[in-house]
Amino acid sequence: MTHPSLDDRDGVIWLDGQFVPWRDAHLHVLTHGLHYGGGVFEGERVYDGHVFKLTEHTRRLHESARELGFHIPFSTAELDEATLELVHRQGIGNGYVRPVAWRGSEQISVSGAGTSVHVAIATWEWPHVFSADAKEHGIRLGTSRWRRPAPDTAPVRAKAASLYNICTMARDAADEAGFDDALLLDYRGYVAEATGANLFLVTGDELHTPTADCFLAGITRQTVLDLARDIGIPVVERHILPEELGGFDECFLTGTAYEVQPVRTIDKHEFQVGKTTISLTEAYTRLVHSRASTRSEAAWSGHPDNGS
């Protein structure tokens, strides 16, 4: 099924406090964020018409902007309310939400001082990233030559658009090599993450995941860690070397878009979709389809969190 280009759709996008027709949501070609990477974003999921962990994502958008040195001119409560109204207007049942904030076009200079800050939110139907077969049997990862940078060389705690250029190059190379995604190591050579998702590995009854000290510790990652502890799965967060991969039985990725996605191979290492992966997939599915798991109802009823 062919979907229309993302710039040619019906509906509305929330842009700087106003709902504008989808095709009219533009920015200038001399936008500072486009030239110098001054932009941050979020990815959020809609399940059964409700946004999962909306406020957590909105708060992280603010935190990412602060990490890059700019202030978003809308509070967490305002952005939450705009998101809920947008999802309602667009009639999204199961889909994706993309908030993004960037520096404006007042000047072209490496310095971002004096530039305005703009914010947009878009949403569209998007049930799954991978096919049903991939969800059942897993995807294939190839190790990339690109690495996650050191914390003193990049804003690694931010969900910054500039950092995703590494992911784009890694993913394009993986696609060309016949893989479904890429595995990135960090600057020290430890296993880090995939291009848009965190990595988990299983040995025996233990769940292992790389220490998130130079890449984003995702909201879905934390959700799965909490679920694992709730159902009695021992969790180990540590540095993992690539040569250890062959000693694990199961592997999966987590992310807002990926959800809990099994991995069947990394390079020549093979994994099974075993009981731990299945248990956490089922637990995550139950959670995201529980209305109590979202902040959307509280915000929609007029009691949003007012923090920024």
Angstrom distance (rounded) from CA 238 to CA 100: 32
The model's pTM: 0.92
Residue 28 one-letter amino acid: H
**CATH at 94:** 3.30.470.10
- The tens-digit pLDDT sequence of the chain (308 residues) is 456 799 999 999 999 999 999 999 999 999 999 999 999 999 999 999 999 999 999 999 999 999 999 999 999 999 999 999 999 999 999 999 999 999 999 999 999 999 999 999 999 998 788 888 999 999 999 999 999 999 999 999 999 999 999 999 999 999 999 999 999 999 999 999 999 999 999 999 999 999 999 999 999 999 999 999 999 999 999 999 999 999 999 999 999 999 999 999 999 999 999 999 999 999 999 999 986 454 444 333 333 333 33
| Catalytic positions, written as ranges | 159
Angstrom distance (rounded) from CA 294 to CA 268: 39
Angstrom distance (rounded) from CA 264 to CA 137: 7
Q: Which of 106, 127, 148 is the last residue of a domain?
A: 127
Question: What CA–CA distances, in Å, run from 151 to 38, 100, 246, 296, 302?
Answer: 18, 23, 28, 34, 39
The verdict on 82 and 137 lying in the same domain is no
Which residues form the domain of 18?
12-127
Nearest by Cα to 288 from 94, 21, 68: 94
The verdict on 172 and 120 lying in the same domain is no
The verdict on 271 and 168 lying in the same domain is yes
| Distance, CA of 138 to chain centre | 19
Angstrom distance (rounded) from CA 35 to CA 29: 9
